[in-house]
Structure 1
């Protein structure tokens, strides 16, 4: 069977997610992010296009690195104001039957015991269509507003994430046996106390002695997403994630990253293809190439360089206001920024050149063209890199997704590389075709009650 492309829509519960300024475009509905009807309309568009999921990003801080102030972020709406990503999901589930929902939540700022309940509740309410994007956080402002003096060092954040997920796996996979609940009329007890077990976790960062508050949902553990780019992040993803998001701007970089992740997954005892890898991609399309390029030119008139600088300063952890926009990027002291420019073979770029070039294609691949040109490009990325699919970032919302659904999806279907209908079942089953539960080769499986009993 021809390999089927995985597609997620990448969005955020805010005005400006990745592309700053285009909320001002007359077609954009971004300012409706606080209106539940916006989310219902978006979900229906994505399900019409047979998208695998809506991947909702999140931060718990503000982009205040640029100029040492949140002013630029506030003026441009750059990921602020931002609402909770989890709370819009149940409403979207009521107007869809198949669309998955990946929600972002950090392991650094919420206790795993309460978070386990929130995700189990979502999995129940969506009938097994929820996923969790595991992040550790990166903004100083998030740490400080949660009572910390500074952000926890990178390696320590992943150590915390290791234990955080261990607690969750114990709660989700091991606390309740499969037949602990039986609501049949002839039963006098709703739950059998002998089949509900305290997890007795006493670790370096967390102590959770009791039982999970929720009975098992269809998936138990939500589909696990992750987007760590560092070596430590990739290792964590290879051991835990089922869907890994990358932001590689070239096929060469993506090919290397995909091979590395699959090798790490195999070394962790997993099937390398038990990890779906998706790359960020911006698509601007229309009925013809001319229409697509005209649309792109129009979008560019609405981009906001100051908002882009605010976002990039936060992502890089470097105040880009310290540099003149006409300084060569090489004079900056941020290695990631310098390497980002080197990826394009443009070592003499100024900061202005970089921000101008990345105003729209900020994270991952970028294609402007007719439906057939876009389909050609996406197929090439899959065939040449072994990537499974794409996180599609909007330039305007929901217009970018509507354009893709109306123009590109039929072309991909015609070529046999994209599904023409959904499979039944949970999000995990739709992605992997093996049922609702994590496979026995996953790290979480060791915490299942039967497996714990077997090793005692």
Structure 2
């Protein structure tokens, strides 16, 4: 059977410890050099040589005292703090790469939509259309406090806020400049036709924006749109707005159920089911044999910090797991944080009530351990369940990515599961072969376009 290739992204964060907390202590890890641009140039160029689709950078904008009543575990273990801004790093990597997609994270909390749209268009211009935006609503009370709020707003209200945020940026990117507004006519002395550039006159519950957008249309106009919410509200948001959604299912059957549910929502939103790609988060330990891979995995696990994992999930759930009994069921608690974490556990374990201990153990993510052949076999099962790609979660940096590039990708290429070269065009055109650089007419952003 001829297989469609998988999208492969390197998933990282400009910090010491991203997901596998404690492994920054590994002697081969360069994570402690996260402040050095050379660390990231080396990683980006490694990914590009291996024909990864993109470097996908996560981000956070707050640190809560949410584990054992304080923030000590976060700082001692560098659990996503200290951290640097992902879009600034993406800007620095544009000139060090030619084909690699560059995806950054920005929350609706941290930037006014007018300024954000201007920054995103600038990045898309400079990269010649290789930029993607990971849309997040943030879960941290401290994140909200850092931007003038007492605490984070309720979960579903954040997504209502996000919908207005998207409406504003769509108007700026898609509706402010007509397609032929830029003439660049040296002889006539006309760069842009004033009649084809428009204010947007947005007035909503949170934002009042006159416009116009100050950047002319970039290669993609709207950057490729990524999203990671797996709660009910998050899935509905993705169905309407995202082009790729990051999922963290525990096994292929759980992924299949989630994907079927969300694809139904995509169709009900007036889009085609294949307008939304599903990118599963996976980590890998690759060995020349199953025994070697298992041995490497055990060595890595010796450095894993369980407290760091529990602190990470405490922040995301908005519940201090350090103050709870390990066997207490999570569904007895009121969860305003990342509700999708619970959804993923429930889908992987139908009928089982998730406990505090279950979630702490599960939060390191789904890991495939084995030879290149056995891991490729398992990835075929994930693809058969409906995933379109993988966010590769590192354990050591850049060691995990080098291992995947040198040992796993050749086997995937042999099976047609990984690309051997980059197709021409923008990030969107590579994610959706045969489609244009701009959002299609089924996307809600298209409603903001001037029809002449």
- TM-score band by shorter chain is over 0.9
Query: Is 2:233 the counterpart of 1:219?
Result: no
C-alpha separation in 2, matches of 1:203 and 1:339? 32
Q: Is the 8 A contact 2:330 2:356 kept in 1?
A: no
CA distance in 1, matches of 2:207, 2:77: 38
| C-alpha contact (below 8 Å) 2:428/2:437 kept by paired residues | yes
CA contact (8 A) 2:230 2:343 kept: no
List per-residue Cα deviations over 1:129-184 (Å, max 9, x = no partner).
00111111111110112110111111111111111101000000110112222324
Alpha-carbon distance in 1 for matches of 2:138, 2:87: 17
Kindly report which structure 2 residues correspond to 1:6-25, keeping only aligned pairs within 5 A, or say none. Answer: 6-25=7-26
Normalised TM-score (structure 1): 0.93
C-alpha deviation, 1:98, in angstroms: 1.3
Q: State the Cα distance separating 1:348 from its structure 2 match.
A: 9.6
What is aligned with 1:237?
A: 238
Question: For the Cα contact (< 8 Å) 1:63–1:78, is it kept in 2?
Answer: no
Q: Aligned match of 2:364 in 345, 362, 365?
A: 362
Pairs aligned (count): 444
Q: How far did residue 340 of structure 1 move?
A: 6.6
**C-alpha distance in 2, partners of 1:69/1:78?**
13
Unaligned runs of 5+ in 1: none
Report the Cα distance in structure 1 between the residues aligned to 2:351 and 2:229, rounded to whole angstroms: 26
Is the CA contact 1:14–1:79 (under 8 Å) kept in the aligned structure 2? Answer: yes
Pair 7,63 (structure 1): closer, same or farther in 2 beyond 3 Å: farther
Task: Identify unmatched segments of 5+ residues in structure 2.
Answer: none
Q: Which of 184-193 and 114-123 deviates more?
A: 184-193
Q: What is the Cα deviation at residue 347 of structure 1?
A: 6.0
Correspondence for 1:413? 413
Q: Is the 8 A contact 2:120 2:223 kept in 1?
A: yes
| Contact 2:283-2:367 at 8 Å conserved across structures | yes
Determine helix, strand or coil for the equivalent of 1:74: helix
Using the size of structure 2 for normalisation, the TM-score is 0.94
Deviation at 1:64, TM superposition (A): 2.2
Matching residue of 2:394: 394
Q: CA deviation at 1:254?
A: 0.9
Question: Which aligned pairs between 1:416-455 and structure 2 lie closer than 5 A?
Answer: 416-433=416-433, 434-450=435-451
Q: Are 1:330 and 1:347, in contact at CA under 8 Å, matched by a contact in 2?
A: no
Matches within 5 A, 1:185-264: 185-264=186-265
Preserved contact between residue 63 and residue 310 of structure 1 (Cα < 8 Å) = no
- What is the CA–CA distance in structure 2 between the aligned matches of 1:290 and 1:348, rounded to whole Å? 34
Counterpart contact for 2:330–2:354, Cα < 8 Å? no
| Offset at residue 225 of structure 1 (A) | 0.3
Aligned partners of 1:64 and 1:310 also within 8 Å: no
Preserved contact between residue 201 and residue 208 of structure 1 (Cα < 8 Å): yes
Q: Give the secondary structure class of the aligned counterpart of 2:105.
A: strand
Aligned residues: CA RMSD: 2.0
Contact 2:3-2:415 within 8 A present in 1 as well: no
Change (3 A) 1:341 1:229: closer
- In the TM superposition, residue 352 of structure 1 has moved relative to its aligned partner by 5.4
